[in-house]
Chain A
Amino acid sequence: MSAPAAARRRLPRRRVPAGPISLLAGAIVWELIGHLAGASFFPPLSTVIGRLAGMVTSGEIFASLADSLLNLVLGFAVSLAGGLLVGVAMGRFRKVEAALGVYVYALLTAPSLVFAPIFFSLLGEGRGSIVAVVVMYAMFVMIINTASAIQSVPGHLVEMARSYGASETQILLRVMLPAAAPMIMAGVRLGVGRAVTGMINGEMFIAVVGLGRIVTQAGGRFDGAGVLAILLVIIAVALGAVALVQAVDRKITGWVPQTSRGH
């Protein structure tokens, strides 16, 4: 009898769900401050959720959400393809790195929204401009991570492959990319978060469409609850996208020992 009792006493402590508890605490703090402050732009959580429920039942949010998600997916896909392509080229060839490195680092650190007016004038106020902004936000971190991932592939693995007569393509596909995958995926995780930021900024700044349009309109009406309701949706989109990337990551890099994982 005493053994199971001891086990029961030990188990709950290990299974404390830190994530949900933290969220609950955050919600309570938000609710309290919202009530106490009484500021129109910081309503309590319950008001925000009520506003969100209203948007969902009226259906006004769905078209915008779909619009935004399409921008996100397009922009992220372009960023991923460009990030891998340019990153691998920079990682493999010193000349490419020397030629492109300065631009990549400049554009990584430059505030991406600065380019919005340029896209606006070049691509018009359609989807193209927003996708371009998403790419500006998301691609460069993926390029840099991919390039360093390829550069840090252990030389002895490449030498081993060469000793078996592997071609350059085989070395890239069978040795370098798999070896670089964990670090590349770390860049993709960063990139997807930045893509969501790019999406919302692009939508708010350039063409007023998607979730960004609702935020802009709500802001214009001094509708604090509306702004925060959309913020919740954006956070959900971001977390969903990151979770998706993490699932892919686990599939690709399951071989990395748990102890050397960064999370």
Chain B
Amino acid sequence: MIEVRGLGKSYIGQDGGVVQALQDVDLTVADNEFLTVLGPSGCGKTTLLKAIAGLIPWNEGDIFIDGSPVRGPGPERSMVFQNFALLPWATVLENVAFGLQMRGVGKTERIERARALIETVGLGEFETKRPGELSGGMQQRVGIARALAVQPSVLLMDEPFGAVDEQTRRLLQEELLSIWEEHRLTVVFITHSMEEAVLLGDRVVLMSARPGRISEIVPVPLTRPRSSDVGALERSGKYVEITAYLWDRLRDMHEERRPAKAGR
């Protein structure tokens, strides 16, 4: 279980003023829950994720994972990055085994475990290739395999499919759903796509910007497993309704931030 209590983070901006990146963020993520976080750019959603990952400090509040406070990165959490963050000089196998290597797992075991994950994400033939030889979608499969190789209980995903084309994105979403259905992980998934947030999440956390805070948490009462028929799900009334509602809310946020026009 992830508990975020009264989290606040501010920093001094380029103009010298104080920027409130996060304010009073309270959030509880249940075990094996798939939580998606949606919001306009600058709402602090990536900051929230990196705080949970233990990669950045904050000013106020606490974060607990299964009751113990977060002081830095931990073995129960792993992260998938928007820009993949693969080592360009290392092969697919070496990249997937990287997390295990950092955690001191012996060579034989880490190769074995990495190979199994490479099979899971369907990159068996590409084990000896380097990231530069792979498409964006394949690179993110490597990123996901690397994150799963360390057998985390919490998977933190920072707009993982934001840098791939639409068709690849849909395939990756389906694959992620089936991986999650099989592995039972707690997932916190940042996105700027309403459709993605609804398709994947048990709940959608809607964040607003300046200061970054949670504006609303929207439950997604769509049946699971969802990976088998994503198409039918997307045509269902509930899916359409929740997506439309999220867009209404997001549009309001954008309207508020737009400079006032004359005559209004």
Contacts and interface: CB of A to CB of B under 8 A. Distances in A.
Contacts of B247: none
A159 B55 CA distance: 7
Interface string B103-114: 100000000000
B203 to A, nearest CB: 24
B130 A255 contact: yes
A89 interface: no
B85 A157 contact: yes
A252 B53 CA distance: 33
A161 interface: yes
B85 A178 contact: no
Interface stretch (A135-143, A163-171, A223-231, A240-248): A163-171
Interface in A35-83: none
B245 interface: no
- Chain A interface, DSSP helix/strand/loop, else mixed: helix
A163 B132 contact: no
Contact of A164 (B130, B132, B150): B150
Given A175-B87, A178-B89, A164 B55 contact: no
Interface string A148-183: 000000001101111111100010001100110100
B78 interface: yes
A257 interface: yes
Contacts of A166: 102
A213 to B, nearest CB: 45
Give the one of A166, A255, A257 with max B CB within 10 A.
A255
B85 A160 contact: yes
Q: Which size class do B's interface residues fall under?
A: 20 to 34
A245 B87 CA distance: 24
Nearest to A257: B132
Contacts of B83: 156
A156 B87 contact: no
Contact of B81 (A156, A174, A181, A257): A156
Contacts, number: 54
A131 to B, nearest CB: 34
B69 interface: no
B99 interface: yes
Contacts of A174: 98, 101-102
Contacts of B75: 165
A255 B73 contact: no
Contacts of A165: 73-75, 102-103
B87 A162 contact: no
Nearest to B77: A163
Nearest to A182: B89
Nearest to B88: A255
Contacts of B22: none
Contacts of B150: 164
B178 to A, nearest CB: 24
Contacts of A178: 87, 89-90
Contacts of B74: 165
A192 B54 CA distance: 44
B56 to A, nearest CB: 9
B85 A159 contact: yes
Contacts of A181: 89
A152 to B, nearest CB: 14
Contacts of B103: 164-165
B202 to A, nearest CB: 24
Contact of A163 (B79, B88, B90, B101): B79
Interface string A1-29: 00000000000000000000000000000
B188 to A, nearest CB: 13
Contacts of A179: 87-89
A166 to B, nearest CB: 4
A159 B73 CA distance: 10
Given A156-B83, A255-B130, A257-B132, A164 B99 contact: yes
26 contacts: A156-B85, A159-B55, A159-B81, A159-B85, A160-B81, A160-B85, A161-B98, A162-B55, A162-B73, A163-B53, A163-B54, A163-B73, A163-B78, A164-B98, A164-B103, A165-B75, A165-B102, A165-B103, A170-B102, A174-B102, A178-B87, A178-B90, A179-B87, A179-B88, A255-B88, A255-B132
Given A165-B103, A255-B89, 7 more contacts: A159-B81, A160-B79, A161-B102, A163-B79, A165-B73, A165-B75, A174-B98
